[in-house]
Amino acid sequence: MTVPSRRGVRAAALVAVLTVAAAGCAKSEDDKQPGAQDTQGQQQVVQTPSGSAPSCTISKFGATKFDLKSGTVGFSQSEKEANPFRIAETASIKAEAKKLGIGGLKATNGQSQFNKQISDVQQLIAQGAQALIIAPLNSDGWEPVLQQASAKHIPIITVDRQINATACKDYVTFIGSNFYEQGKRAADQMAKALGGKGKVAILLGASGNNVTTDRTNGFKDEIKQKAPGIQITFQQTAEFTREKGQQVTEQLIQSNPDVNGLYAENDEMGLGAVTALKGAGKKAGQIKIVTVDGTRQAVSQIPSGWISAVIESNPRFGPLAFQTLTRFLGGEAIPDKVIISDREYDASNAEQSVSSAF
């Protein structure tokens, strides 16, 4: 843990423990009922210090102050809401907007198509969005949006995934987890489950974003340093989806029958792997599985032994996103990154903690 410095004290202004309210509504995207209950779960906690010293102000960015309640805020979701993470994320944004009385929230969904997401955000700008909250599908390729938003001095907050651009010039801040640390913590759990030795496969997330890169590098670096007796013998993308997680795992157990552990870079791929192992006649715990996200479905597989551990990645960004935007519009300095703390689930706490998962 880093000892808080003067920079950390300034960053502490953003520390909050926030609980999301009941589900709300938006103009451009249909409500998803399953996500409504997820706004009630485990609150986000901001790490201290978080990112660099707060330095991005509304005057430095060049934005114009407006009243959130009467203004227009655009939210761009990246992926199809078949994934519980995305359902909970969107529900959280909508719920907090309703709680704050923000009637001008416009929400769109890119349906896992990057070109559509770019078009969605451009349309939000054309429709008069005065601020944007974006959950990016990819980290690169945002230049057309950034140029249009910059011309109108529209503040952008990215959540969950980062974009490769300049903070306080192209966007205000990123709010999300430390994905490299998530990978390291997953490696620690895998080492514990395997007793420090064995052969491990990795189900990689989608390419083109910092989440996959960081979760992979964190896992590999920690295994190399802390558990040299573990070999990573297989890795293949399963695109963060359950269906592909099942398909890749079915191939894996045929081509690499001696694998002892499987690291899935999100819960959906891990649950697909569980389905594949059951279909192949494997027993619970025969292949140790560690995943990242913290969905109820994944956490509930821990007591039965099908999953060994889950590293949380909390999707309930609504309160923190709007709190950060409010502070920015009020003239407060904002750091380039607002990093949240994530917990983890294993056999010691899963049964009693599953209700707080999403």
- Tell me the pLDDT tens digit for each residue of 131-168: 999 999 999 999 999 999 999 999 999 999 999 999 99
CATH topology (fold) of 6-177+315-342: Rossmann fold (3.40.50)
Please state, in angstroms and rounded to a whole number, the distance separating the CA atoms of residues 341 and 174.
14
Question: What is the CATH number that goes with domain 179-312?
Answer: 3.40.50.2300
Specify the pLDDT at position 81: 85
237, pLDDT greater than 60: yes
**Contact, 85 vs 293, CB < 8 A?**
yes
- For residue 81 the two structure tokens come to 């809401």
> What does the pLDDT average to over 199-213?
96
**Nearest-5° angle of CA 208, CA 246, CA 239?**
10
Backbone φ and ψ of 120, nearest 5°? -55, -50
Round the average pLDDT of the chain to a whole number and report it.
89
Specify the pLDDT at position 45: 77
Please state, in angstroms and rounded to a whole number, the distance separating the CA atoms of residues 349 and 355.
11
339, pLDDT greater than 90: yes
53, pLDDT greater than 80: no
> What does the pLDDT average to over 298-321?
97
> What does the pLDDT average to over 168-175?
97
Decide if 6-177+315-342 and 179-312 have a common fold.
yes
Strand order in the sheet with 44-46: 17-18, 44-46, 337-341, 173-176, 156-159, 131-134, 73-77, 105-109
- For residue 277 the two structure tokens come to 């192992």
Burial class from Cβ neighbours inside 10 Å (0-12, 13-18, 19+) for residue 283 reads: exposed
> What does the pLDDT average to over 29-56?
58
- For residue 212 the two structure tokens come to 């996959």
281, pLDDT greater than 70: yes
170, pLDDT greater than 70: yes
Specify the pLDDT at position 242: 97
Q: Is the pTM of this model over 0.75?
A: yes
58, pLDDT greater than 70: yes
Specify the pLDDT at position 167: 96
Please give the C-alpha separations between residue 104 and each of 14, 185, 211, in angstroms, as whole numbers. Answer: 25, 40, 30
Contacts of 326 (CB under 8 A, 6+ apart): 68
86: Cα separation from own chain's centroid = 9
Please state, in angstroms and rounded to a whole number, the distance separating the CA atoms of residues 307 and 291.
8
Confidence of residue 44 (pLDDT cuts 50, 70, 90): confident
> What does the pLDDT average to over 68-78?
97
Specify the pLDDT at position 143: 97
**Contact, 78 vs 137, CB < 8 A?**
yes
- Break the chain into its structural domains and give their ranges: 6-177+315-342, 179-312
Please state, in angstroms and rounded to a whole number, the distance separating the CA atoms of residues 78 and 159.
11
* Helix, strand, coil in percent for the chain, rounding step 5: 40, 20, 40
Confidence of residue 51 (pLDDT cuts 50, 70, 90): low
Specify the pLDDT at position 40: 52
Q: Helix, strand, or coil here: 271?
A: helix
pLDDT digits (tens, 9 = 90+) for 249-272: 999 999 999 999 999 999 999 999
Confidence of residue 318 (pLDDT cuts 50, 70, 90): very high
182, pLDDT greater than 50: yes
For the stretch 192-220, what's the b/e string if a residue is b when 16 or more beta carbons lie within 10 angstroms of its beta carbon?
Answer: ebbeeebbbbbbbbbebbbbbbbbbebbb
Specify the pLDDT at position 260: 98
Specify the pLDDT at position 16: 39
